[in-house]
Structure 1
Amino acid sequence: MLVHARALLRNTTAEGVTGFIDYDFHNTQQLLQEAGNILNVTEPIAVMFMGSLGHVGDYHQMRFIVAGMMDAVPSGSYLVLWDSTNTTEGFNEAQQGYNDTGAVPYVLRTPDQLRGCFEGLELIEPGLVSISQWRPGPLAGDTILTVDGYGAVARKP
């Protein structure tokens, strides 16, 4: 998969550069150093954690990773984060079944725990909500269901 991603995402055009880096987000300094080869990290950027922080078992370590990334980026940068939550019993049971298979465990967190990742940042409306609520509005005839994943977008002041 890494070889395929690198082949697809290595591109330089007049509009900019696209690339793929394969680093563990536990080592934020090394990750940011490598990203600096592609991004201008002196200008605001978006840091995105999209359904991946559940693989960090310890809550405080998860917060440390997010804070480390946001501390390293300039004012005006954004944090975009969503992760699966323990908001329904059925999903909790399904996740436990997955974890019991021996796969890399995934920790479901409460929405309040995810909210902690945005400490010191300015949440953008609608704030931390079920990710199905992050639409500009329902399409005609749509029913928007709440899903067991919460997320938000926030700006670093």
Structure 2
Amino acid sequence: MSGNQYPSAVPDKLNTGVAHNARVWNYWVGGKDHYEVDQQVGDQVAAMFPVIRDVARADRDFLGRAVRFLASDRGVRQFLDIGTGLPTLENTHEIAQRIAPESRIVYVDNDPIVLVHARSLLVGAPQGATDYIDADAHRPDSIIERASETLDLDRPVAVMMLGILNFILDTEQALHTVRRIMASVPSGSYLVMTHPTTDTDLGGEGNVEAMKFWNANATPPITARSRSEINAFFEGLDLLPPGLVSCSRWRAASESPVVLPQFGAVAVKP
């Protein structure tokens, strides 16, 4: 990654007067990279939908379990993490390179505050590679082109899309993004995904009003999807056990983890 891709200050397009998902999420998981407006909106959403902090933490825990599983059990050495968010403890490259220092990781985001913090995402094991690209999930061809500068797309890649497709409001566009990226990676690659839902069996009905409030007071706008809609993202792929479940229950360490309205799954490309 060339030096001129690092900003020396907060970019002009960074709006600190409106709550932003990356910063609010950081607040919910106990981070420090947020502003007062993010805390205010985050507290209001949490008051309307109290499990949201648990969802944020469970989503992060899911990432750790998925990366460890793929690196340790499946021998994956390349990760394309789309919708990176603000760096916290146990980022994708830290987990993967602890298991296999030669692992190569590309982070993708187009949030200016994430770009500000990109340096901390690029301190990886010297045997491998860690890169960050500023790109939009609505434009998968750009992601593929730039990721190929660091990743060998003739070898399996774990495509990580945690909590990102819910910001692509048009379902057909979201499906296109997933299918285009998965078409660019070979057999033996993986799709790792989490996505919020309104399905009542996961307690998702509370997402409806909370997301209405979010869309009126924060950015970017968000949507939830049903189990069947989320299942469609895995069309042509083989879901690994336990399938599409509450992300808190995917290969969980405890026997009876709480069910949360955030689906999670890992699938392999045959």
Q: TM-score, length-normalised on structure 1?
A: 0.90
**Structure 1 residue 112 displacement after superposition:** 1.1
Does residue 10 of the first structure (1) align with residue 126 of the second (2)?
Answer: no
The residue aligned with 2:258 is 145
The residue aligned with 1:115 is 231
The residue aligned with 1:31 is 143
Does residue 81 of the first structure (1) align with residue 193 of the second (2)?
Answer: yes
> What percent of counterpart residues are identical?
38
| 1:96–1:12 distance in 2 versus 1, CA, 3 Å | closer
Backbone CA RMSD of aligned residues: 1.6
Query: Helix, strand or coil for the counterpart of 1:33?
Result: helix
More helix by share: 2
The residue identity in structure 1 corresponding to 2:210 is A
Query: Helix, strand or coil for the counterpart of 1:8?
Result: helix
1:4-61 per-residue CA deviation (whole Å, 9 max, x = no partner) reads 21x1233464430011111012221111111111111110001111101111111111
1:60-83 per-residue CA deviation (whole Å, 9 max, x = no partner) reads 111111000101111110000111
Query: Helix, strand or coil for the counterpart of 2:156?
Result: coil
Structure 2 unaligned blocks of 5 or more: 1-112
Q: In 2, are the aligned partners of 1:128 and 1:150 still within 8 Å (CA)?
A: yes
Q: 2:208 aligns with which of 81, 92, 96?
A: 92
Structure 1 runs (4+) deviating above 3 angstroms are 11-14
Query: Helix, strand or coil for the counterpart of 1:100?
Result: helix
Hey, what's the Cα distance between the residues in 2 that align with 1:13 and 1:106? 35
**Structure 1 residue 111 displacement after superposition:** 1.3
Query: Helix, strand or coil for the counterpart of 1:31?
Result: helix
**Structure 1 residue 3 displacement after superposition:** 2.9
Hey, what's the Cα distance between the residues in 2 that align with 1:90 and 1:11? 39
**Structure 1 residue 86 displacement after superposition:** 1.0
Hey, what's the Cα distance between the residues in 2 that align with 1:104 and 1:26? 13
**Structure 1 residue 109 displacement after superposition:** 0.4
Aligned residue pair count: 153
Hey, what's the Cα distance between the residues in 2 that align with 1:101 and 1:41? 40
The residue identity in structure 2 corresponding to 1:112 is S
Hey, what's the Cα distance between the residues in 1 that align with 2:180 and 2:116? 28
**Structure 1 residue 135 displacement after superposition:** 3.1
Q: In 2, are the aligned partners of 1:11 and 1:19 still within 8 Å (CA)?
A: no
The residue aligned with 1:53 is 165
Q: In 2, are the aligned partners of 1:132 and 1:146 still within 8 Å (CA)?
A: yes
Query: Helix, strand or coil for the counterpart of 1:19?
Result: strand
Identify the structure with bigger relative contact order (alpha carbons < 8 Å, sequence gap 6+). Answer: 1
Does residue 155 of the first structure (1) align with residue 268 of the second (2)?
Answer: yes
Hey, what's the Cα distance between the residues in 2 that align with 1:49 and 1:118? 12
